[in-house]
Amino acid sequence: MEIKGTGALTGNAGRQLVRILGIETSCDETAAAVVENGRKIISNVVASQANLHARFGGVFPEVASRQHVRTIFTIVEQALQQAHVTLEDLDGIAVTRGPGLPGSLVVGLNMAKGLALSSGLPLIGVNHLEGHLYSAWLYDVGLQPTVEPQFPLVALIVSGGHTELVLMENHLSYRRLGATLDDAAGEAFDKVARLLGLAYPGGPSIQRAAEDGDGRAFAFPRAWLEDSWDFSFSGLKTAVLREVRRLESSRLNLPVADLAASFQAAVVDVLVGKTLRAAKAFHAGEILVAGGVSANRALRQAIMSQAEGKVHIPPIYLCTDNAAMIAAAGTFRYLQGQRDALEMDVLPNWPLFELLSAAES
Ligand code: KG4
Ligand code: ZN
């Protein structure tokens, strides 16, 4: 297939303006955003349900989908209002199709379908992980454009549900290097936080607790899985559990800060170590880190200070789930010619690597 609008893909000047509305409801954030040319954020509205799920210690799927139902209309309306646009000013509607919670994905997809049907605008189903990657191309209206990632690059996606190491040799093209064999990095943060009696979401809680702790206090295991680019975090989680039980049985007060810092240090070591090695092995000059866990300060500092080439990590507010990243990835897909049918269904287990690259489609 001929790739349309490659000028916009490569950032050439003189391109036409493409304005896409993004909608994201894959987990516990209801989000909508308007983005120009896949890069400039005109509006970005995120309603987090974290407080609602905190008492369950994790996302409660039915509570999440019902909350999306309640808020989606207002969030989309706000995104359009804040961008000072109506549907007539848009070129398309991009929406997260998966991976994610089925009942949550359905709410965003049906909202997008309704808007597409009433306006005649094209509908573009976006892979949530591709969205996380494209958050690295975004910048806020009124700010300088971001320094864009250059290919080939090695990308690390670390979120609540995924840990993926990817080689990107071009736009919309992904070669799978490795992934987690068990828990995702964010999932490990969330589970260990619960073990330590810290609030959901676990990542920010562990980061906060770790600030007063010593990362060398406990020698937790690092699963290097030599000769593989895969990750494993379940052994580390079990090691923390065993240590917590041992301390509790000896009626000692839990040194929560030291446990949190030592756990965080073990996760960061492996994530950074393997990503840097992969960049070298695949001759990738640059590194991209995205997804909720890339908001982690220790991870950001470690990879920035140890990498030889340029490292792209989105600002914190774009690391966690948002719709600007869905609009960004959706724009690149739109320019590639993707148009989806109104019959499109959600894909709760959609692997990133099933996406066809621009060259293959
Ligand atoms: O990308 P995201 O918002 O949602 C998914 O696609 O899953 O990622 C959420 C994950 C949660 O597991 C959360 O604990 C983790 O990202 N997270 C963090 C931090 N902020 C969010 N993990 C470590 N440190 C943080 N500062
Ligand atoms: Zn996410």
Alpha-carbon span 19 to 328, nearest angstrom? 10
Residue 286: what are its φ and ψ, rounded to 5°? -130, 160
Mutate to test the pocket of ligand 1, among 97, 159, 200, 352 (most ligand atoms within 8 A of CB): 159
Same domain, 188 and 203: yes
Ligand 1: nearest atom to the Cα of 202: 14
Measured from the Cβ of residue 36, the count of other Cβ atoms closer than 10 Å reads: 18
C-alpha of residue 296 to centroid of ligand 1, in Å:
8
Same domain, 199 and 251: yes
Alpha-carbon span 105 to 110, nearest angstrom? 9
Is residue 180 in some structural domain? yes
CA-nearest residue for atom 3, ligand 1, is: 320
Please say whether the beta carbons of 107 and 100 come within 8 A.
Answer: no
Ligand 1: nearest atom to the Cα of 189: 14
Q: Structural domain of residue 74, as residue ranges?
A: 19-138+319-354
Same domain, 233 and 344: no
CA-nearest residue for atom 16, ligand 1, is: 292
User: How do residues 226-284 score in pLDDT, each as one tens digit?
Assistant: 999 999 999 999 999 999 999 999 988 899 999 999 999 999 999 999 999 999 999 99
CA-nearest residue for atom 1, ligand 1, is: 292
C-alpha of residue 291 to centroid of ligand 1, in Å:
7
Is residue 7 in some structural domain? no
Same domain, 328 and 251: no
- Return contacts of 297-304, CB within 8 angstroms, 24+ apart: 297/207, 298/207, 298/210, 298/215, 298/264, 298/265, 298/268, 299/158, 299/267, 299/268, 299/271, 299/272, 302/268, 302/269, 302/272, 303/271, 303/272, 303/275, 303/276
Same domain, 67 and 179: no
Please say whether the beta carbons of 243 and 198 come within 8 A.
Answer: no
Is residue 4 in some structural domain? no
C-alpha of residue 133 to centroid of ligand 1, in Å:
15
Ligand 1: nearest atom to the Cα of 29: 3
Is residue 66 in some structural domain? yes
Same domain, 86 and 163: no
Ligand nearest to the CA of 293: 1
CA-nearest residue for atom 22, ligand 1, is: 203
CA-nearest residue for atom 19, ligand 1, is: 203
Residues with CB under 6 A from ligand 1: 27, 159-161, 186, 189-190, 201-204, 207, 291-293, 295-296, 320-321
Same domain, 326 and 212: no
Is residue 272 in some structural domain? yes
Is residue 13 in some structural domain? no
C-alpha of residue 195 to centroid of ligand 1, in Å:
17
45: closest CA among 24, 27, 61, 20?
24
pLDDT for position 356: 65
C-alpha of residue 7 to centroid of ligand 2, in Å:
28
The string over 265-293, giving b where at least 16 C-beta atoms fall within 10 Å of a residue's C-beta and e elsewhere, is: bbbbbbbbebbbebbeebebebbbbbbbb
Mutate to test the pocket of ligand 1, among 270, 293, 294, 299 (most ligand atoms within 8 A of CB): 293
Same domain, 171 and 303: yes
User: How do residues 45-76 score in pLDDT, each as one tens digit?
Assistant: 999 999 999 889 889 999 999 999 999 999 99
Same domain, 47 and 163: no
Ligand nearest to the CA of 54: 1
* pLDDT at 358 exceeding the cut of 50: no
Mutate to test the pocket of ligand 1, among 189, 296, 313 (most ligand atoms within 8 A of CB): 189
Same domain, 93 and 167: no
Is residue 186 in some structural domain? yes
Q: What is the average pLDDT across 7-34?
A: 82
CA 194, 133, 94 angle in degrees (round to 5)?
A: 100
C-alpha of residue 160 to centroid of ligand 1, in Å:
5
C-alpha of residue 252 to centroid of ligand 2, in Å:
37
Is residue 143 in some structural domain? no
Amino acid identity of residue 227, one-letter, is: D
pLDDT for position 3: 38
User: How do residues 288-344 score in pLDDT, each as one tens digit?
Assistant: 999 999 999 999 999 999 999 999 999 999 999 999 999 999 999 999 999 999 999
Amino acid identity of residue 118, one-letter, is: S
CA 72, 187, 242 angle in degrees (round to 5)?
A: 150
C-alpha of residue 322 to centroid of ligand 2, in Å:
8
Residue 196, domain CATH? 3.30.420.40
* Structure tokens belonging to residue 294: 């890339």
In which order are the strands placed within the sheet that holds 173-179?
173-179, 163-170, 153-158, 286-290, 310-312
C-alpha of residue 113 to centroid of ligand 1, in Å:
28
User: How do residues 76-110 score in pLDDT, each as one tens digit?
Assistant: 999 999 999 999 999 999 999 999 999 999 999 99
pLDDT for position 16: 82
- State how far the alpha carbon of 4 is from the alpha carbons of 7, 8, 95, 334, in Å: 8, 9, 21, 9
pLDDT for position 354: 82
Same domain, 123 and 204: no
Q: What is the average pLDDT across 206-222?
A: 98
Total domains present in the chain: 2
Alpha-carbon span 330 to 332, nearest angstrom? 6
Ligand 1: nearest atom to the Cα of 320: 3
Same domain, 179 and 324: no
Which stretch of DSSP H or E encloses residue 111?
helix 102-119
